[in-house]
């Protein structure tokens, strides 16, 4: 069994405490093995980045963050986490797991100042190498800070293969700390209703808020497909007179929990296709939406970008459908082809569901995380 005496601290952006306190049934994937930790350890903490009350110290930190951001193109927001109470938590933790690179770099001062030097620290990467500095001084300072972070932590989990390969190539000294671990989902939560057939599904779904989604394109695409109903769940598109009447715009953000996971599941369940148009990026954008949708037997169409997370296991036209570029005619034709062809729809639905449930379920993810940081359950 896992050693129950250890103290584990998770550091997130925001939204986790609110979801846990809501009492709603929730999916587990965006907690990055937190529930697994709760089942096996007595002491598990959550810290979240937040906007503390404005004072001289916070104003100064904001200015310093802004300067470092410009000099390094790294996501550093120490003002949202740097507080004595959080340093005390770090001091009393045996293991610290940070949910993404923004959290990790924002916590860097806490890591440095923490008195316990033998703690195990890890974080997840998704988008760290997505911004390329323009000037040599920026590249130098950026790499220096990345190396300093890599030197201080024990494990770095890469959710996309492209970023993992980039890290191995450019920061090979730390290769033993790198773990390629594709994002996985709570397949027990993301399950379709048994009676939800091809004939019962009518709508087309777009969901997402990250900076790599092609929002202008998806609005234009839906606008020329008037005979189809679209659900857009996003904070990035505003309702105005230019928005086509066949678009049902729902304001939704995971961090703010404007929609519960159960409500989002209902949208997957009644949609025939989920569309994910993305701009070119090295980040594994669209990952969670694609996996959730496929697990729900709702076929996915998405742009094939450099940052696609796991090319070895996802086959075009078998598990999901790729489009190389965001061209309106190509998207419209492929949507209509799958929407109106029961055989193609069911082939994608069945194979997509099988792949996600067998290879991208959260149980495997949890086991890999904890075995990698030296807490394997035996």
pLDDT digits (tens, 9 = 90+) for 362-373: 999 999 999 999
Domain with CATH 3.40.50.2000 in the chain: 203-359
Tell me which residue of 309, 127, 328 sits closest to 210, measured CA to CA: 127
Q: Catalogue the long-range contacts made by 330-336 (C-beta closer than 8 Å, 24 or more residues apart).
A: 331/221, 331/275, 331/277, 331/301, 332/221, 332/224, 332/225, 334/301, 335/204, 335/225, 335/228, 335/273, 335/275, 335/301
Instruction: Give the DSSP H or E segment for 46.
Output: strand 43-48
Which residue would you say has higher pLDDT here, 256 or 118?
A: 118
Please report, rounded to a whole number, the percentage of residues in the chain having pLDDT higher than 90: 77
CA distance 309 to 287: 7
Structure tokens at 86: 């959080």
pLDDT of 56 over the 90 cut: no
In the prediction, which pLDDT does 159 show? 94
pLDDT of 242 over the 90 cut: no
Local structure of residue 54 (DSSP, 8 states): P
The topology (CATH level 3) of 203-359 is Rossmann fold (3.40.50)
Local structure of residue 10 (DSSP, 8 states): E
Average pLDDT score over the chain: 92
Which residue would you say has higher pLDDT here, 162 or 117?
A: 162
Burial class (CB in 10 A: 0-12, 13-18, 19+), 370: buried
Structure tokens at 276: 């994910």
CA distance 250 to 237: 9
pLDDT of 74 over the 60 cut: yes
- Give 7-184+362-372's CATH code, choosing from 3.30.530, 3.30.70, 3.40.1440, 3.40.50: 3.40.50
* pLDDT band for position 260 (cuts 50, 70, 90): confident
Each residue of 319-329: pLDDT tens digit? 999 999 999 99
pLDDT of 192 over the 80 cut: yes
In the prediction, which pLDDT does 375 show? 86
Structure tokens at 345: 């729809």
In the prediction, which pLDDT does 234 show? 94
Region of residue 168 (phi > 0: left; psi between -120 and 50: alpha; otherwise: beta): alpha
- pTM of the predicted structure, to 2 decimals: 0.91
CA distance 53 to 71: 26
pLDDT of 216 over the 90 cut: yes
Structure tokens at 289: 């939406």
Local structure of residue 320 (DSSP, 8 states): B
CA distance 106 to 88: 16
In the prediction, which pLDDT does 1 show? 46
CA distance 332 to 112: 52
- Are 130 and 210 a contacting pair, CB within 8 Å? no
């Amino acid at each position: 069994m896992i050693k129950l005496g250890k103290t584990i601290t998770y550091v997130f952006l925001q939204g986790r405490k609110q979801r846990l306190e809501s009492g709603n049934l929730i999916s587990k994937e965006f907690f990055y093995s937190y529930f697994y930790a709760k089942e096996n350890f007595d002491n598990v903490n959550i810290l979240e980045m937040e906007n503390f009350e404005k004072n001289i110290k916070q104003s100064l930190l904001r200015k310093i963050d802004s300067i470092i951001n410009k000099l390094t193109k790294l996501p550093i927001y120490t003002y949202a986490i740097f507080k004595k109470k959080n340093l005390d938590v770090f001091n009393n933790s045996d293991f610290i797991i940070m949910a993404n690179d923004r959290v990790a770099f924002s916590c860097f001062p806490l890591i440095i100042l923490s008195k316990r030097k033998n703690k195990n620290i890890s974080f997840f990467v998704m988008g760290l190498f997505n911004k390329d500095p323009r000037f040599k001084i920026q590249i130098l300072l950026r790499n220096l800070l990345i190396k300093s972070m890599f030197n201080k932590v024990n494990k770095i989990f890469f959710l996309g293969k492209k970023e993992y390969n980039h890290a191995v190539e450019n920061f090979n000294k730390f290769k033993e700390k790198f773990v390629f671990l594709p994002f996985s989902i709570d397949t027990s939560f993301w399950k379709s209703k048994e009676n939800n057939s091809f004939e019962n599904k009518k709508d087309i779904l777009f969901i997402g808020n990250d900076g790599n989604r092609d929002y202008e394109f998806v609005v234009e695409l839906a606008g020329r497909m008037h005979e189809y109903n679209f659900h857009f769940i996003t904070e990035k598109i505003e309702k105005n007179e230019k928005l086509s009447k066949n678009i049902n715009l729902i304001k939704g953000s995971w961090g703010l929990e404007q929609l519960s996971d159960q409500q989002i599941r209902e949208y997957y369940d009644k949609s025939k296709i989920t569309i994910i148009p993305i701009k070119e990026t090295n980040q594994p954008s669209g990952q969670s939406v694609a996996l959730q949708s496929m697990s729900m037997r709702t076929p996915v169409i998405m742009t094939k970008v450099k940052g696609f997370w796991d090319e070895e296991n996802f086959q075009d036209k078998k598990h999901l459908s790729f489009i190389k570029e965001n061209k309106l005619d190509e998207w419209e034709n492929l949507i209509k082809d799958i929407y109106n062809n029961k055989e193609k729809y069911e082939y994608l639905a069945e194979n997509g569901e099988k792949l996600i449930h067998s290879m991208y379920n959260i149980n495997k993810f949890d086991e890999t995380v904890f075995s990698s940081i030296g807490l394997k359950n035996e």
